[in-house]
Chains A and B, each alone.
Chain A
């Protein structure tokens, strides 16, 4: 990261070998508006993550009472009042597309804000760094402890710290399973040893990944492992707001004392290195935009504080587009923030994003909670009966997506003189309309025969499913009727 800085690379030079040693990062605590915003985002994320599975939602006697539940066993996804069946998976696909376009939108507007604030790796790394400060003290104390030889005191501190890491990791990894089963029940089963093995396995794996990624690998995950920064950096352009060091204002650097003695006037940067000290990925933003920067803006807080200390205007490091940086360098005024954010590119993303959102909402409003799908037997296509009548067979899937048993009418449409019966009925009882009960929240398979008199022609037909209760709802499924003369189209 510090490849441009001869000072840093100099102490590198004598340890060239098969591997590079990680340079531990001990970010300094900082307070400021961005830091407070980061606290807020962290709190919201954690509360949502830990709290969501415990929200209850009354769905009556036939469905689970958990507000958000991914019910793998029954292949249902519950989200408050919305229940997604496997055949409605396009809702989930739509949400994923929205998430993707949302990422384009946010990234092209305000850079890698996801990385800086909302990414789980960031949130938990941040959390663990606070644990470091809580146990070991701030940056300098941590550095001292790192260098100190191992002794009982250091071992005790380390064990305590890792123990807290592990506790947090367990709380994190363990919470995930509650999204997949009734949380209170699972909680009880988990502690009494009655939960499914997969619950323990998931908890173990997620605990260990949180422990290792958040506790030890930290910024290395962002820099070496995560593909996201590559994608995100590719989505940035010169009009995206990113964290920028305004070098034309800061350079040449020098302390306030040096500035007094200097022959030529120095820049605003007092070379206090506070921006480097607070950076959670350990980079020096003054070297320009770089892949290690997660746009968390903590360096802005640090530099603003330094500037306030020496009575210079804030914003030496600031959210700024590359275009504006050029403009300011030339002494022109920068584009207002709102204009920067709302420009054609972001507006197009916003348009596409909300179009998909509205389409999903519309579909959500339109969808009926009954569904019929019909599969026609193709082998044999048709059967001639002894009286010359022609019989076709179909497999009907009747979905009752409501949480109560319902009674449906299945009517045959088309097919002159035709009638239908199920494999549980006698052919003599064949009629134009069948009445079928479907239990709550269930798909019922029904084998249906359609019968047409001797000499019938092939036809396009349809099955129409109608709920008989007052809430109603219906669905039509088209199919064909085949005779010896071929099939309808």
Chain B
């Protein structure tokens, strides 16, 4: 430390520090700059007192204002649910058919249903509701139990093969091979016939034999032409859509052992509004059908 002196070249006072002949000049900060700096320090201290700031071992100082990001979120969530309450109440009041016909309610139900679908349904039906082997694709126009919004709603409420739910969807297909109703060769013939009516292969001798077996064993549920029956949840066999696959191997397995899909009865798990929203959403995916006239046609029901 030498004594401060004026620097010759610039005429500025040195602060007295010197390293290897290099001296530090005293070019002070402007006053306003320093005051802004002090103000920032004061602000920072105030901030530390008012808001959560200092991390401790298992928590942080809370701050005198009691603010927390969790509390913020909680507040926002409450506001949001208050904002939604009106629409949810309306949806609760409306029947599933009313929701389907009122554009405003329908819009809201689809949005809510999309969110609920992502939470509850994508595990089986997939994110885009395209399903996979054994889990129906909900985008298409093929429905085991009916594709109008009321039928979809009922499937959602009561599920498929849910014990303890009297209205649950239950279809029964015999295990033709395993239970010895048909021989393995007969099963192959039926498979040939089914693939033929679905247009998957050309009818041959095997298919012809299968037609007779089909007529004796299968038409009760699947219909004379394999058109299926929604009343008993029997899939149409003459179309291009297969729940478990339409190749010989999959069909052989199906006819031999039968298949029993299940789906939870969501009516017991979710609130009624969510179920209605889910039904509306699924109906909107592109395969939804018009709700049939309120009085069911007895002839169609009998088929």
Interface positions of A (Cβ within 8 A of B): 3-6, 9-10, 12-13, 16-22, 217, 220, 224, 377-380, 383-388, 391, 393, 423, 427, 449, 454
Contact = CB atoms under 8 A, between A and B. Distances in A.
Most chain B C-beta atoms within 10 Å of own C-beta, residue among A10, A385, A454: A385
A282 to B, nearest CB: 13
B30 A22 contact: yes
A21 B127 contact: no
A379 B117 CA distance: 14
Interface of B: 4, 6, 10-13, 26-34, 126-130, 137, 139-142, 199, 236, 239-241, 284, 286-287
Contacts of B199: 388
Given A383-B130, A386-B241, A423-B286, A5 B34 contact: no
Contact of B28 (A10, A19, A377): A19
A10 B10 CA distance: 11
Contacts of A217: 32
A130 B128 CA distance: 69
Contact of A383 (B31, B32, B127, B140): B140
B286 A17 contact: no
Contact of A9 (B12, B128, B287): B12
Given A3-B12, A18-B28, A380-B130, 16 more contacts: A4-B10, A9-B12, A10-B11, A13-B6, A16-B4, A17-B28, A18-B29, A18-B34, A19-B31, A22-B32, A380-B128, A383-B130, A383-B287, A385-B241, A391-B140, A391-B286
Contacts of B27: 20
B242 to A, nearest CB: 9
A3 B6 CA distance: 11
A378 B142 CA distance: 21
Given A5-B11, A383-B139, A384-B241, A19 B34 contact: yes
Given A16-B26, A19-B30, A22-B30, A386 B239 contact: yes
Nearest to A2: B11
For the residues of B in contact with A, the DSSP-based class is loop
B210 to A, nearest CB: 21
B286 A22 contact: no
B286 A20 contact: no
B240 A20 contact: no
A388 B239 contact: yes
Most chain A C-beta atoms within 10 Å of own C-beta, residue among B11, B13, B137: B11
A197 to B, nearest CB: 18
A4 B30 contact: no
B31 A385 contact: no
Nearest to A391: B286
A220 B32 contact: yes
B85 to A, nearest CB: 26
B148 to A, nearest CB: 13
Contacts of A388: 199, 239-240
Most chain B C-beta atoms within 10 Å of own C-beta, residue among A5, A10, A12: A12
Contacts of B284: 423
A220 B30 CA distance: 9
A261 B2 CA distance: 44
Contacts of A449: 286
B195 to A, nearest CB: 14
A393 B236 contact: no
A387 B240 contact: yes
Contact of A380 (B11, B29, B33, B139): B139
Nearest to A13: B13
Contact of B10 (A9, A380, A386, A423): A9
